A and B are shown apart, each in its own frame.
Chain A
Amino acid sequence: MRSPLNALEVDQLTRVFDVSSPWLNRMIERKPKRYLRAVQDVTFVVQKGKCLALVGESGCGKSTVARLVTGLYEPTEGAIIFAQANDGTPMEAQMIFQDPHASLNPRWRVGDIIAEPIREFALRDSGEATAVRVAELLKVVGLSPDDAGRYPHEFSGGQRQRISIARALASEPEFLVCDEPTSALDVSVQAQILNLMRKLQDELGLTYLFISHNLAVVRHMADRIAVMYLGRIVEEADTEVLFANPQHPYTQLLLQTIPNVASPNRDRQLMGGEPPSPLDPPKGCSFHPRCPLALDICSQVAPAVRARKGGGAVACHLAPQF
């Protein structure tokens, strides 16, 4: 499935965390080792210049995928393959984090925060050239070059997120992993940041892996959406196809549950129950305890990922055959 159009190919990615008690406790209490399968058999492709979004509720493994892709975690199994960049080396990925209060060092000036990747990778040969580049980056994200001398606490949440974006762009990456970049922001500021990210994508030809729990934001940003539930991708399709015709019951319920400002739907169908613990996932399809359509087979056999009507893939026994 290697294709020159793909920026990133993720194949059968699995990450298992060892969450056992300490050795002595296990010996005394005679408990076995416990493992948490945070991400299981996740396969997806991000095309160059496009935006793929991973959506799901807390604990579904979407942030773990982001950290695996950027190399912050080692995969247990599976492969992550980046395409070659224009200069022949593998494409570089950078990350934008959720909380701009925690991701910027409060003791460093903004100029130094943004200059760090430039210095680290020796992308400019003199201090002046670095300063020029920092000023340029600040302008790109809509801040003033004078802001380089200030500290992060002098900025609002939205401005800090702009600084994070400038830092991510400093090493001239072609691929950005954005882990809930606007969840900590107010809506009017969120709109500013989303517009900025779209503008940067158009101007710099960036490819995004966009992680979010907010389907409305995802609809605005993404070309393609993968819905995750308990460590697995349950449905994947182009944005418009997924919204027009969701096939997995979880996607359907998720779309019904989210409040819609344009047409409040007071009598919506509610999703009962809560996501089960990933430490002790249900047998068969992991969604079956909450699924309104579950059959006997769902509690025994985990559904395979199949091609989906209208393009994409779905993992459900009941989805119509393609």
Chain B
Amino acid sequence: MSTASPSPALEVKGLSVEFPTRRGILTALSDVSLTIERGEILGVVGESGAGKSMTGMAVLGLLEPPGRVSSGEIRIAGKRTDNLSDDEMESVRGRMVGAIFQDPLTSLNPLFSVGQQLVETIRLHSDRNRTEARVHAVNLLKQVGIPGAEERIDHHPHQFSGGMRQRVVIALALAGNPQLIIADEPTTALDVSIQAQITTLLRRLCREQGAGVMLVTHDMGVIAETADRVAVMYAGRVIEVGAVEDVLARPKHPYTRGLMGSIPALGARVERLTQIDGAMPRLNAVPPGCAFNPRCPEAGSRCLQVRPTLMPEGQGAVACLLHDGGVA
């Protein structure tokens, strides 16, 4: 990277993803725009079905057929990737973008030792020979904090505990030296004390390697401790973006506000949690206007007709008519 200001690790503009089904087209993501700078962690948060994992999968080029990108652009480190063929995408994954998934047991092959899997990945993405690759693999394992890396490299995945396995997965994701890492619920399967170890590791590696990280999670706590900026998703759209401190302390969208209120706080005990009634709409029944209007305590007549777009507001951006001409 010799240019003065390197292009962001990830730039997504107006991304829409559709699933054609027998009963019509389901829009899973609509008009999603995100930017992740190098060395920055963007948290993508939302409830199940909000489209947060789908965004990660679209960036990785791993949408399950018949899902397809119907419009928009994805650029990883300045290179456009949404229009690449499957073969070309193969060389982007690993080298430019690494992935960490929720369950470390299913993302590792149980039949091969950790070292074999690391060496294979390293050799695929660089011209190191077998010996050099193995040395690099040991270094990677040391980097992610696995004690006794020289010995542990010959162990199989089942010989590692959950937290250690997730460290191995992170080492695998780093093997190709990618500019972007997609971490999809990386700590959900782990206990709290291990969860803190893994998020701290992610933060450190992201700074050291200057890679951008997209941290997909449903857990606001993990976002609060780990991310620099946060994007809140609802029904396939980004409804609020901003610096973590701003969004958590002064949420602008009524959904974000409700979400924050519904988390039992550790500080003060309240008699009753704020609750958002109802549930997120299914993809085939997203209401017209603002998708959140049936659950929104502040909805007005305009919310039933006009679909809000993400507008800059203060340091961040929010998609709500309250901040865009009023709801009445």
A87 at the interface (CB under 8 A from B): no
- A259 and B264 contacting across the interface, CB-CB below 8 Å: no
Shortest B51–chain A CB gap in Å is 14
Cβ proximity bits A258-291 to B, threshold 8 Å, 1 near / 0 not: 1111111110101110110000000000000000
B residues 126-184 in Cβ contact with A at 8 Å: 161, 163-164
Q: Which residues of A contact B271 (CB under 8 A)?
A: 198
Chain A, Cβ-Cβ closest to B267? A262
Q: Which residues of B contact A271 (CB under 8 A)?
A: 193, 196-197
Q: Which residues of B contact A19 (CB under 8 A)?
A: none
| CA of A257 to CA of B198, assembled, Å | 12
Shortest A288–chain B CB gap in Å is 15
B221 at the interface (CB under 8 A from A): yes
Picked from A58, A156, A261, A274, the residue with its CB within 8 Å of the CB of B221 is A261
- B196 and A264 contacting across the interface, CB-CB below 8 Å: no
Q: Which residues of A contact B225 (CB under 8 A)?
A: 259, 264-266, 268
Chain A, Cβ-Cβ closest to B268? A262
- B265 and A258 contacting across the interface, CB-CB below 8 Å: no
Interface centre among B191, B221, B274 (most CB of A within 10 A): B191
- A216 and B279 contacting across the interface, CB-CB below 8 Å: no
B71 at the interface (CB under 8 A from A): no
- A258 and B221 contacting across the interface, CB-CB below 8 Å: yes
A191 at the interface (CB under 8 A from B): yes
Q: Which residues of A contact B263 (CB under 8 A)?
A: 187, 191, 216, 261
B16-24, B105-113, B254-262: which lies at the interface: B254-262
Cβ proximity bits B217-261 to A, threshold 8 Å, 1 near / 0 not: 011111011000000000000000000110010000000001111
- A262 and B191 contacting across the interface, CB-CB below 8 Å: no
- A259 and B221 contacting across the interface, CB-CB below 8 Å: yes
Picked from B161, B220, B269, B277, the residue with its CB within 8 Å of the CB of A261 is B220
A12 at the interface (CB under 8 A from B): no
B276 at the interface (CB under 8 A from A): yes
B284 at the interface (CB under 8 A from A): no
Question: How many of B's residues come within 8 Å of A, CB to CB?
Answer: 44
B25 at the interface (CB under 8 A from A): no
Given the interface contacts A259-B222, A260-B224, does A188 sit within 8 Å of B262 by beta carbon? yes
Picked from A187, A240, A266, the residue with its CB within 8 Å of the CB of B218 is A187
> Interface residues of A toward B: which range?
35 or more
| CA of A259 to CA of B89, assembled, Å | 36
Picked from B200, B259, B269, B276, the residue with its CB within 8 Å of the CB of A270 is B200
Given the interface contacts A188-B258, A191-B273, does A257 sit within 8 Å of B193 by beta carbon? yes
B301 at the interface (CB under 8 A from A): no
B266 at the interface (CB under 8 A from A): yes
- A260 and B259 contacting across the interface, CB-CB below 8 Å: no
- A274 and B266 contacting across the interface, CB-CB below 8 Å: no
Q: Which residues of A contact B200 (CB under 8 A)?
A: 270
A residues 143-172 in Cβ contact with B at 8 Å: 156-159
A194 at the interface (CB under 8 A from B): yes
Shortest B233–chain A CB gap in Å is 12
Interface centre among B193, B194, B199, B261 (most CB of A within 10 A): B193
B residues 32-77 in Cβ contact with A at 8 Å: 47-48
- A187 and B197 contacting across the interface, CB-CB below 8 Å: no
Chain A, Cβ-Cβ closest to B161? A274
A254 at the interface (CB under 8 A from B): yes
- B224 and A257 contacting across the interface, CB-CB below 8 Å: no
- A217 and B192 contacting across the interface, CB-CB below 8 Å: no
Q: Which residues of A contact B279 (CB under 8 A)?
A: 156, 158-159, 189
A residues 223-280 in Cβ contact with B at 8 Å: 239-240, 243, 253-255, 257-266, 268, 270-272, 274-275
- A253 and B262 contacting across the interface, CB-CB below 8 Å: no
- A219 and B47 contacting across the interface, CB-CB below 8 Å: no
- A254 and B193 contacting across the interface, CB-CB below 8 Å: yes
- A57 and B193 contacting across the interface, CB-CB below 8 Å: yes
- B266 and A260 contacting across the interface, CB-CB below 8 Å: yes
A186 at the interface (CB under 8 A from B): yes
| CA of A195 to CA of B263, assembled, Å | 12
Q: Which residues of A contact B192 (CB under 8 A)?
A: 57, 213, 215, 254, 257-258
Q: Which residues of B contact A214 (CB under 8 A)?
A: 264
| CA of A260 to CA of B223, assembled, Å | 10
Shortest B103–chain A CB gap in Å is 14
Chain B interface (Cβ within 8 Å of chain A)? 47-48, 161, 163-164, 191-197, 199-200, 218-222, 224-225, 244-245, 248, 258-267, 269-277, 279
Between-chain CB contacts (< 8 Å), 29 pairs: A57-B191, A57-B192, A57-B193, A58-B191, A156-B279, A157-B48, A187-B220, A188-B47, A188-B258, A188-B262, A191-B263, A191-B274, A191-B276, A195-B273, A216-B264, A216-B265, A219-B266, A220-B270, A255-B266, A257-B192, A258-B266, A259-B195, A259-B225, A260-B224, A260-B265, A265-B225, A268-B196, A270-B197, A274-B164
4 interchain residue pairs of minimum CB distance: A259-B221, A191-B262, A220-B264, A186-B47
Q: A214-B264, A219-B266, A270-B197 are in contact. List 11 more A-B contacts (CB 8 A).
A: A157-B48, A186-B48, A187-B218, A188-B258, A192-B275, A192-B276, A259-B196, A260-B221, A261-B248, A262-B265, A270-B193
Chain A interface (Cβ within 8 Å of chain B)? 57-58, 156-159, 186-192, 194-195, 198, 213-217, 219-220, 239-240, 243, 253-255, 257-266, 268, 270-272, 274-275
